[in-house]
């Protein structure tokens, strides 16, 4: 039996590439061993079938941005069970329209620039891209978020007007937003610069309790719909290249 060698060495040997080129191809997910993509140049091989994808490119892989439908009761980034830990190859949405190649490196060093209350559900952003982080944090005051809030109780006589403009939160007057009834118990919020706990507090100020909160959209990016309906809770998709918040 052949002695084990590093995958980068085998790729260099088989395909006439320099060691540096071989390592780049492997890290970028273009090399498979017995049909399975391997992203570690130090992976040891002996007699396995090693293949280099015919469309392999040396260009660095762009940082990934992942859009997830966070279930209720899950923190975005903290704790043993948080949204970040739910992002695995098995939970990628089958109807993801992005066409992005799934790479395990996409699951490393994901951060969330936009928070969402743990008890709320809906769209969260997990990204490796500093440009996305800056856009969502520095421009938070001008990016509109859309929420559906299921309520209980009876709203105050002037409650809807005050929800749209006239409330305070954490000692400051809130800017105008757009709030409307979707049915007898469900409110739609289109709001900018929302903070943790703000929607719950706003509803409480006009006599309403909160049954559930779900974020549908951040800027121009929505949860997503496919042939089988909306992306289910616990599933994720890639933000396609070229789409902006």
Say if residue 59's pLDDT is above 80: no
**Do residues 162 and 205 make contact, with C-beta atoms less than 8 angstroms apart?**
yes
Residues in the chain: 245
Rounded to an integer, the average pLDDT of 43-68 is 89
Band of pLDDT at residue 77, cut at 50, 70 and 90: confident
Residue-wise pLDDT for 16-31, tens only, equals: 898 988 888 988 888 9
Query: What mean pLDDT is predicted for residues 41-67?
Result: 88
Considering only CA atoms, which of 123, 37, 95 is closest in space to residue 225? 95
Question: Rounded to an integer, what is the distance from CA 36 to the centroid of its chain?
Answer: 25
CA atoms within 13 A on the CB side of 117: 17
pLDDT, tens only, 91-110 = 999 999 998 989 988 998 99
Q: How far apart are CA 128 and CA 108, in angstroms?
A: 8
Cα separations in angstroms, 191 against 34, 78, 114, 141, 147: 51, 25, 14, 9, 8
pTM of the predicted model as reported, rounded to 2 decimal places: 0.85
Nearest residue to 124 via CA among 107, 102, 145, 105? 145
Taking the C-alpha atoms of 88, 92, 98 and 104 in order, what is their torsion angle to the nearest 10 degrees?
20
Token output for 80: 């043993």
Whole-number Å distance between alpha carbons of 148 and 141: 20
**What pLDDT is stored for residue 1 in this prediction?**
55
Domains of the chain: 5-52 (3.10.290.10), 65-139+224-238 (3.30.70.580), 144-218 (3.30.70.1560)
The pLDDT value recorded for residue 161 is: 97
**What's the pLDDT score for residue 212?**
97
Q: What is the mean pLDDT of the chain?
A: 92
pLDDT at residue 141 above 60? yes
Average pLDDT for residues 207-233, to the nearest whole number? 96
Residue 2 has pLDDT above 80, yes or no: no
Per-residue pLDDT at 233: 96
For 151-162, the pLDDT digits (tens) are: 999 999 999 999
> CB of 87 within 8 A of CB of 107?
yes
């Amino acid at each position: 039996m052949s002695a084990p060698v590093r995958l980068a060495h085998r790729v260099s040997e088989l395909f006439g590439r320099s060691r540096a080129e071989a390592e780049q191809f492997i890290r970028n997910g273009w090399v498979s061993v017995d049909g399975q993509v391997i992203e570690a140049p130090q992976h040891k091989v002996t007699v396995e079938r090693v293949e280099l994808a015919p469309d392999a490119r040396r260009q660095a892989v762009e940082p990934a941005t992942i859009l997830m439908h966070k279930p209720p009761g899950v923190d975005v980034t903290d704790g043993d069970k948080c949204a970040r830990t739910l992002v695995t190859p098995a939970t990628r949405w089958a109807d993801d329209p992005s066409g992005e190649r799934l790479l395990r490196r996409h699951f490393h060093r994901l951060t969330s620039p936009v928070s969402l209350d743990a008890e709320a559900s809906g769209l969260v952003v997990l990204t490796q891209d500093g440009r996305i982080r800056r856009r969502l944090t520095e421009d938070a005051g001008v990016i509109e978020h859309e929420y559906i809030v299921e309520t209980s109780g009876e709203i105050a006589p002037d409650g809807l007007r005050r929800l749209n403009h006239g409330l305070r939160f954490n000692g400051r007057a809130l800017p105008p937003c757009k709030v409307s009834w979707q049915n007898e118990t469900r409110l739609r919020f289109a709001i900018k610069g929302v903070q943790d706990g703000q929607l719950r507090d706003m509803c409480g100020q006009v006599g309403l309790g909160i049954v559930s909160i779900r974020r549908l959209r951040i800027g121009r990016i929505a949860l997503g719909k496919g042939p089988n309906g909306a992306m289910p809770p616990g599933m994720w998709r890639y933000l396609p290249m070229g789409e902006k918040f």
